[in-house]
A and B are shown apart, each in its own frame.
Chain A
Amino acid sequence: MNKLVAQDSYLTHLLQQCEQKPLVTDGFMADLLPSLRKRAAYQVLESCIPTKKDEEWRFTDLSPLVKVNFQLAGKGNITPNLEPLIIPEASHSRLVFVNGIYSHDLSDVSAIGSGIYVGNLTNLPPEHQGRIKQYLGNLEGTDTFTALNTAGFRDVAIIWASSNTVVQKPIHLLYLSVGEENPGFSQPRTLVVAEPNSSVQLIEEYGEAENSPLPYFTNGVTEIWVQENARVNHTRIQRESQEGFHIGKSAIVQGGDSHYTCTEVNLGGKLSRHNLEVHQQGEQTETYLNGLTVVRGEQVGDTHSSVFLTKPHGTINQLHKCIVDDSARTVFNGKILVPQAAQMTNAMQLNRNLILSSKGRVDTKPELQITADDVKCSHGATVSQLEEDEVFYLRSRSLNEREARLLLVDAFAGEILGRIPVAFLGSMFHAEAQRRGEDYDLYC
């Protein structure tokens, strides 16, 4: 490989820190990691931090990120208190990573049965070691932040369901940022392999352990392989602190007859971006994408999704909702590509936005590219405020103005929250929405 002149000193600085603390490369990993990393590092060096001149980043300005000098985070100054974060349905099927590093003490996989591996990369059982190369880092097309993660992740959370394994219990992947002396930088990494006819439910959650006033930067990547006739139900929760920066990529590859559902809830982050990429690679593949972003203050919440169809009889159904208050902003860009080969596709995409303040801002860009001629595709975007007539309807049924507004906002969010398959989470978010409304006089 030729020696390259680094393009971007900020990226180089982050990359170099990762290279100083490499993950062990013993045994099977010696075969796996060095070449993967080298390729990714090369890509990082060739790239620049995107600016608003890049089409993919034209609505989201990364300059607040670049102003902070992040240091690769270690194990953190404190042991996080897990109590409030435990999901009852997944209390014994949980992996915890602190600053991207696996925490054996905080994890509990005692309820995990046979036919599935839930653990970190270093402990991967031998039967999977030989095949991990087919999956890890095999995303089609990578962006700079994804490459940075690949070049520097410190461990990998792995869920690997063998053929015909149906796992009822949800698996909770909890990625916590724990503060240190300096603004920290961590790179969580997740790999899910659902072999043919298997079924897995996972909850991927990002958050901060204590209320540190320091900024931090989480750059996560999740790869999910949903093979023939397999099902993966993915709940993704982003609850970073108000000072946190979050860039996350979810890349999904689906085989024929498979089902993939993603329900994402984005509440936190000073600046957050989720890149969701789904590749339908078999016939009769079904994809359901649900999203809810709730921002206030000066928050920026950005979701970019791309769905690539390749075979006939694919289904994609997407509903993304945003609630914007104060001077906050949301961005939604939803791409669906239906090439000639993907006949009989049934694609639906809707982005609905509710602005509660006069200074809130929404950028939305549905993008359907259809070449096939026998398909059913629809898309739409709405931006609205609470309608006076809606409020009046409720008031004429005895609710006061405040109750009426809270109910309407709650209902707007509820359409997505109701799709979260884990009951505890749904009711927790409802309670949080109520609390927010009551604490901040948000909706009036």
Chain B
Amino acid sequence: MTEMILAVKNLTASIDDTPILKGVNLEVKAGEIHAIMGRNGSGKSTFSKVLAGHPAYEVTGGEVIYQGENLLEKEAEERAIAGIFLAFQYPLEIPGVSNLDFLRVAYNARRKHQGLAEMDPFDFEDLVAEKLDLVKMDASFLERSVNEGFSGGEKKRNEILQMALLEPTLAILDETDSGLDIDALKTVAHGVNQLTNPNNACIAITHYQRLLDYIIPDYVHVMQDGEIVTSGGKELALELESRGYDYFNK
């Protein structure tokens, strides 16, 4: 039997006492790619942040089992160390920290917890150089401050570069495709496709069916008003595109 990576049962969550998630159920097994689609405000992004452990969201009910453990008990950094990676919808800019240093700190934080020695800067540079090709990034990006002055596409590619280095077990892409032109979209999708394998899993959150032409999902879920209302195969995305979200109203 394929390993269960994530099991979400009846998850509810709110922010500032406003309920956003109203009972989400989802199971993700190793080797699977799931797409979650839905309108703005349907709770997609909240779901991704709750999974990653954003402190602003309060989980009010349900459970999340990640690789056999209760995920909700873990701090954000513990989840990251355990292999959960969130590619941000709006990656933050950190002026004053070079991208290379940032990548190294993140990489080494994880190694430290795995009981491995930190990788020295020179070896790390070699490692990053290998991964750069994957997202078609120039080495000059590494010298710039994290995401500062990056275009939207560059920021998203930078997220995928981090994903490539951190090798997550569960990658959550929060609208990684929004705002990308077709070339950037292809690059990002290519990177993601290279990184998925039978041992890990991916949840791609998106508005647009377009992404799913390049990252082929095993399952598509439609989220509305804090719940997953319909699930199906990849053909569901096409149906959604032609019929619109209203068709799936409860």
A residues at B contact (CB < 8 Å): 387-390, 392-401, 403, 407-408, 410-415, 418
State the CA gap A414–B75 with chains docked (Å). 28
B180 at the interface (CB under 8 A from A): no
- The closest CB in chain A to the CB of B107 belongs to A398
The answer to whether A398 and B92 have CB atoms under 8 Å apart is no
What CA separation (Å) do A399 and B166 show in the bound complex? 13
Task: Say whether B162 faces chain A, with CB atoms less than 8 Å apart.
Answer: yes
Q: Is the CB of B106 within 8 A of A392?
A: no
Binds A, one of B22-30, B50-58, B219-227: B50-58
Interface size on B, residues (CB 8 A): 29
Contact in complex: B97, A411 (CB < 8 Å): yes
Given A397-B106, A407-B105, A392:B76 Cβ within 8 A: yes
Which 6 A-B pairs have CB atoms at the shortest separation, nearest pair first?
A411-B96, A398-B109, A414-B96, A395-B76, A397-B106, A398-B80
Interface positions of B (Cβ within 8 A of A): 52-56, 75-77, 79-81, 85-86, 88, 91-92, 94-97, 102, 105-106, 109-110, 113, 145, 162, 166
Separation of A415 and B200 alpha carbons in the complex (Å):
38
> How far, in whole Å, are A272 and B77 apart by their CA atoms in the complex?
40
Given the known inter-chain contacts A392-B54, A393-B88, A393-B91, please indicate yes or no for A399 contacting B109, CB distance below 8 A: yes
The answer to whether A408 and B80 touch (CB under 8 A), given A392-B54, A392-B55, A395-B75, is no
Distance, CA A353 to CA B19, complexed state (A):
35
Q: How long is the Cα–Cα vector from A388 to B56 in the complex, in angstroms? A: 8
Main secondary structure of the interface of A (DSSP, over half): helix
A415-B80 in contact (CB<8A): no
- Are A388 and B106 closer than 8 Å at their CB atoms? no
A400-B77, A407-B105 known; A395 and B96 CB under 8 Å?
Answer: no
Contact check, B97 vs A399: say whether CB atoms are below 8 A apart.
no
> How many Å lie between the Cα of A389 and that of B86 in the bound state?
13
- Which chain B residues border A396 with CB–CB below 8 Å? 52-53, 76-77, 79-80, 85-86, 88
Counted as pairs of residues, one from A and one from B, with CB atoms less than 8 Å apart, the total is: 76
- The CA-CA distance from A415 to B102 in the complex, in Å, is 15
Contact check, A407 vs B97: say whether CB atoms are below 8 A apart: yes
Contact A397 B109 (CB under 8 A): yes
- Given the complex, which residues of B lie within 8 Å of A393, measured CB to CB? 88, 91-92, 94
Q: Are B77 and A398 in contact (CB under 8 A)?
A: yes
Determine how close the nearest CB of chain B comes to the CB of A69; give it in whole angstroms: 43
Q: Which of A389, A397, A407 contacts B80 (CB 8 A)?
A: A397
Best-surrounded residue of A388, A392, A398, A411 (most CB of chain B within 10 A): A398
Which residue of chain B is the closest to A411 with respect to CB atoms?
Answer: B96
Cβ A418 vs Cβ B96 within 8 A:
yes
- CA gap between A240 and B101 in the complex, in Å: 32
Q: Can you list 9 pairs linking A and B with CB atoms under 8 Å apart?
A: A389-B92, A392-B76, A395-B77, A396-B85, A397-B106, A398-B113, A400-B75, A414-B96, A418-B96
* Interface pair B109/A403, CB less than 8 Å apart: yes
- Asked whether B95 lies within 8 Å of A411 as measured between CB atoms, the reply is yes
- Chain B residue nearest to A393 (CB atoms) is B92
CA distance A388 to B79 in the complex (A): 17
**A31–B94 alpha-carbon span in the complex (Å):** 57
- How far, in Å, is A317 (CB) from chain B's closest CB? 16
- Residues in B whose Cβ lies below 8 Å from that of A403: 105, 109
Query: Chain A residues near B110 (CB, 8 Å)?
Result: 398
CA distance A390 to B85 in the complex (A): 16
Contacts of B105 in A (CB 8 A): 397, 399, 403, 407
Q: Which residue of B lies closest to A352 (CB)?
A: B95
Given the complex, which residues of A lie within 8 Å of B96, measured CB to CB?
410-415, 418
A406 to chain B: closest CB distance in Å? 11
